[in-house]
Structure 1
């Protein structure tokens, strides 16, 4: 019987069928005991109860529950009382020992089904029970006769001879062992297993041949016994002794036959299990080979000296070498160019396979770089080196090296770190921009006063050539430089107010060429590579010129001995892959502007800080450190992106991407001639909460011939407007306590629909935008400003 098997049948119907079969097997066994082979030892009879194999077969096949059903419902416990009525109370002892024998084998079968071990093997279990049976029968069985006569057989013997007890014990042990062997052999037959609902192994087909040979051998032994007996007693070799045999002869020869068949069954079971083991080994080998070939990780079997003895297809792909070239090649061969994580060569003794073979311990997740033999690219592999557990030799064991390719993961990790650095850089620039924007308003108010009054002093009659003129000019120049720096800060912070036009970058570059020539000098050659089909962008032309000016100045400083300054334009289409690795860039159409020099280049550390405000590599006093940060701010404020690539000694290239638009180019504005007193008779309401700035504006407007009415807040301005006739223009600050400039204009324009407005502010674009001032609805004047700039904005506001 296959100890590892479990019944195939399942369900309530099959359970009921097995119960019924167990009952019938018990009844047949009980009835069959009446046909047992008996040996009489007057007045006792020793019986060979062959029919008990039926409940034992049920026990071995289905377990203890069905064995108990066969013993109780099948009345197996009753057979000693029917077979040996003269034993009296001795039959009760036999009923218990034989019933427990059948249930015991059912219990061991249950254990084998869950976990086969030597102790629950049917033959070992029978040997253990034989000891118990012999002890009980030798002691309790004779003692039970002293209780006789029993009420059911009045003629039961009061005692039993010791030699009869010994015969009964020997007979019982022998018959039980033979029955178990016979049932175990019977349960191994394919046809019997199908009837019992047990799985049939492929090796069970050999059982028939072995049992047939054992049966023939048993018959031959019986014939040989008869012939030998005939020769001994009648001095003739004849088979007639077979049918002239006594009862004892028949019993002896029957035992020979049964012993041969049982021995054949044991041999069949041994052969079956041996074939099962070989079959399992073959299946295990096939599973291992399938797993070895199909696993995604590369696997190398490496000898102690580093030679590769086998490899799976994944390893062939990872290393770029076919199997016939891999086998017998050393893992430490120079062709692999094996390196550590930091790029330094990895010595052979430190290779994880060598360490695992030397120390006989697992080496996990050791990162190495190896050269792919097909494409020459570097592959980064995590190596897990596992020494063979089955190696018991004195030398180093073979090692399995499991290779996991993390090249793509490593590249993604590098890209992630790059994105993090770019994000940190962007956040740092944003924080600096917020600081710059917050101080711009106060600086611009102060600079407005300084620049405005200095400009008025310069224009006083007779001031030219005087000390006052010189001082005022110096103040005005310093104020303009300071104002330029605040504009650079606002540009870096992306908070300037732009006048956006639809332009072609080619026109901006060619229009700015004279400035390039004056800036770069004769030792620098300007090379323009402008695409004829370059698209249009929406940009502030003056800010584009500022970008070109700053980049050209940066290139000039990088080429003190001369070189080439190359400016290129081209159309570009950005896909999702590029956009995913460049923060701030969305997929779509762009116009690319590249500014490249052949100068000394920028080292890696400086490249990380190139857009930081106030960062400069120039000598003290030679630069503000706002040039490239201003470029960064202008570009990002236009919705574009800028990147830089450089290598020391090989120049630097700045690449700018501006979103492409499909609109008509904006027509150029026509100039308007200046007038000495352009606004004579114009009534202007000036609203400014800073007294010094308000006074300055009034002075400028009065010098232009305007009639000026001034107020320090919105409520006062509303009252003055209602009491002032002929009001045509409102000049107001945007951010004021209480009512802001935009709200003031909205209320006034409902009463005076023809009223025009010029907004002024020192705050950034975002701030005034939150207060309702946009480029589309009004003219805007950025502080600080001169009288000329104020005059231009008023003329634009009034219109023709």
Structure 2
């Protein structure tokens, strides 16, 4: 048996199951209707443009047998009360079991002349049988405009006697929401082979479609992250080779010669490419939105403060200030602290991009009881959420772009390093915690993003900090790398101070050098690189504990830094290696300062 045979049999089996489902639903519906009418003729619910492709509509003639009435029913005795009760029970059981409804269309001379809908239509579409009776074209008018051609073709094929399988399409619910439905049609013919009627089943499949779309989007984000991480790793290796050879050329040619200047240009280009690599690695971390993410009771205000400390230097360089209205109480959200910090960092930097001439970012945290919007898969649907609001004074988001801002790769920035994935990842992170993101904006009045995250009742006890804690000065302008290292270090019980530039780090060492045990320095720390900071530290203490980090090679770092006791770590930084290196330096120095 070939693959095609199995596929054909599977499709046929599914079609047969759909046919049986419609037949059963129609049979129960017709039985209940006829029983409710006492064996008489049910009144047609209305004529319709119908599932037709045009043509004049006519009402059934006086001699026509009403839809669903058995032949000879006019002479049959009235059904017993017991039969009526059983029919009604079967009808109700069917409606309870399926988010669906049945409709039936009577055909004369190959054209629809009347249509009737079951009571279940109200639950699925918001419209009852009387609505379809008043508006014969409601069945097509409620279909989403982009799907109407598909539905018309589906109906036309059945009227022509073709075997058209089930279709799925969108409708506009009476309350304005877009819903997905699955439509199945089963035709019925007389002895001469003429179509007398067809029964249809409309089933609400919105939940399944939303789950499928969410799964596809999550898998797409994961694939993007995996691709970004792989490209960054490979690209970094190539950059190391380029930078190493360019350095060798520069060191072995006469200054101001053409070859020397060309080598310097290559090194500058490699440094810019290194920035792209950093962003790719940051993107790879952000895209880690798997279902295995460990959720915890996160003190939201504390994470906001940490994010501000990590980003305020970079924001200040762009003339952007940030104001945080501290809540009266600490709110705990059921989320992942590391991912929340990454999400807030992305929102802050996104807000800064919208304020090219500088401005202010306002952040506040609150708590509210609300109901989840459609598309958020969580039970119960109503609950208490922690709300983080991030507002900016930028140019705002044009109305025509509001629906696209969360699309992957959509960006209005012209920079080559703008991937258009920041807001997409933020949305998926928050959705993974059982929350959602909303946005409001008016052109010229800035934008306001709100993260609504489920409230956590009790804090989750964290790990006990190990003995021998250190104070670390972390000097790195890359917010993503700095955030990752800070999480690792603070998670191990160390105290972390941050600086995003050479001058800031040198100033911190001048003020608090006696309290700093270890300094982590990014080789490309602006402005001018990390060399001035390393020199300042080693001039003060030749045996100072310094960890130099870079996407370039160790050899490249050695060529650009003074000799000394510093050690080197290659980016991307591995958490275990960072902690082991820190422990080794601590042992070499005889532990932290005695006052800690």
TM-score (norm 1): 0.36
Structure showing greater relative contact order (alpha-carbon pairs closer than 8 Å, 6 or more residues apart): 2
TM-score (norm 2): 0.46
Higher strand share: 2
Pick the structure with greater CA Rg: 1
